[in-house]
Amino acid sequence: MEFGVNFFPVVDPVKKSASTYYDESLQLVELAEALDFEHVQTVEHYGSPYGGYSPDPVVFLTAAAARTSRIRLVTGAVIASFAHPVQLAARLALLDNLCHGRLDVGFGRGFLPDEFELFNVPMEESRTRFTEVVEACVALWSGKEVRFEGEVHRFGPVTGFPRPYQRPHPPVFVASATSAASCALAGEQGHHLQVVPSVTSQEQLTQMTAAYREARRAAGHEGPGRIQIKYTCYLGEDRAAVLSDAAACERNYVEQMAAAVASWANARSEQYPGYEQFADKARSYDFDTALAANKVLAGTPDEVRGQIATIRDWYGDDICLSLQFNPGPLPYERAERAMELFARHVAPAFTGSVAAVAAA
């Protein structure tokens, strides 16, 4: 197993300013490299406290690249529906060169109706746009004099510049929320996978990862592929204090997510079956239930280690957990300590190595 660090800001200026959040997050990026985490990654969202402090993963990861030399940098994910492939491919290739080939590119479709409205993009085009952008970016990174003729995007012939540092192109991840079919398609195409257990059941996620692995194997791609599963992790020596922090931060997350998905109450799309239930699901979230179901990691090092052992049994020992230690309003010192404790007392049980942590 491998472990990375995920940044999904769910916070507003009343609780923490943008500059403070960025300063703290970049400090944690440096710590993540020092503690031998496999990657750092961030999301793309707009217009609300639900991820709105991260409107541009490329900019944040460029700052992270300047402060590090080994850790991988992951978009988790860029929203393909809102981008032109020529521009996006060029920006990502630039970042791949700046970090000397440490970039992994995760692509997502987007799922918030308000964001589609902001960009004046029909939700019914999201799957087509996603497919075209991924295909076109790979073509621009890999080929020359590329001509692309899609339903939405048409361009060329053009040779993408700069060329990416990694050849033929950076590893491609596909973000999937609930669809086993999407996971299977990612496996068939030889891409890697990003999933979030908080929005699906353990049984459904097991089906999704199994569909991905089987499709990748059947298509004859080399290796098992990389699966990133994203969790929030609250960790400390004082169990009561940790659970108090976790409950408060999860309540903030649910409140902000409920507001962000509220527009689904009046939206319907064949591209997103069942998403109209998102608002109800968010409002019904219960921290204790989520903790018991291992949808969130929280407690002492021993308890979190036990949760991860269960997750490994569910999804396999070749997965990578992408962990959020600083969900928005959590004080920096607690996130820092949680990362140190994880590297010293949790990760070695699954990786076999101990990070050089000064404080234990």
What is the reported pLDDT for 354? 60
CATH number at residue 247: 3.20.20.30
Task: Evaluate whether residue 142 is within a structural domain.
Answer: yes
Give Cβ neighbours of residue 110 (< 8 Å, ≥ 6 apart).
79, 80, 81, 82, 116, 126
Q: Give residue 343's domain range.
A: 1-347
Total of domains in the chain = 1
> φ, ψ for residue 90 (rounded to 5)?
-65, -45
Min mean pLDDT across 63-67, 70-74, 256-260, 311-315 is at 256-260
What is the reported pLDDT for 200? 87
Task: Tell whether the model's pLDDT for residue 359 goes beyond 60.
Answer: no
Burial class (CB in 10 A: 0-12, 13-18, 19+), 227: buried
10-62 pLDDT, tens digit per residue, is: 999 999 999 999 999 999 999 999 999 999 999 999 999 999 999 999 999 99
Nearest in space to 38 (alpha carbons), one of 4, 7, 74: 4
CB 195, CB 183: distance < 8 Å: yes
Task: Evaluate whether residue 352 is within a structural domain.
Answer: no
pTM above 0.75? Answer: yes
Task: Evaluate whether residue 356 is within a structural domain.
Answer: no
187-223 pLDDT, tens digit per residue, is: 999 999 999 998 789 999 999 999 999 999 999 998 8
Across 133-200, the runs of DSSP E, i.e. the strands, are 146-149, 154-158, 172-176, 192-195
What is the reported pLDDT for 272? 86
281-314 pLDDT, tens digit per residue, is: 777 889 999 999 999 999 999 999 999 999 999 9
Q: How far is Cα 338 from Cα 233, in angstroms, rounded to an integer?
A: 8
Task: Evaluate whether residue 359 is within a structural domain.
Answer: no
Task: Evaluate whether residue 360 is within a structural domain.
Answer: no
Task: Evaluate whether residue 358 is within a structural domain.
Answer: no
Task: Evaluate whether residue 357 is within a structural domain.
Answer: no
What is the reported pLDDT for 355? 58
